[in-house]
Amino acid sequence: MAVITKPSETVYSEALNSAELIRESGKDLHSLAHTVLYLAERNEKLAAIATAAEAYIRFGQDQQLHTNLLRALRQFENYEVEAETMENAKFGLD
């Protein structure tokens, strides 16, 4: 797979808004909007894990930072379970 350049904040926001509108319209024939919204939410959870892990490692493995990292991991795990088990999930973007 080729490297895809990162979209600007404006382009990213517009893409998510468009995906939401497509999902709401019920015309997401190839599930592209559904997939974009799922991956955006998943990416947000993974970014929180990366941020918490970096802080934990960088600042001496502080207990509070460890707790923050565990919380981010738990939220990601809960999201994955919820996304797999919910029917007609909206992925928290409504």
Q: Which residue has the higher pLDDT, 60 or 71?
A: 71
| Predicted pLDDT at 4 | 87
The sign of the dihedral angle between the CA atoms of 42, 45, 49, 51 is positive
Tokens of 68: 């923050």
pLDDT tens for residues 21-39? 999 999 998 999 999 999 9
Contacts of 63 (CB under 8 A, 6+ apart): none
| Predicted pLDDT at 1 | 75
- In Å, the largest CA–CA distance within the chain is 50
d(CA 86, CA 84): 6
| Predicted pLDDT at 35 | 95
| Predicted pLDDT at 88 | 53
pLDDT tens for residues 36-68? 999 999 999 999 999 999 999 999 889 999 999
Which residue in the block uniquely carries the two structure tokens 């970014």? 47
d(CA 87, CA 84): 8
| Predicted pLDDT at 66 | 94
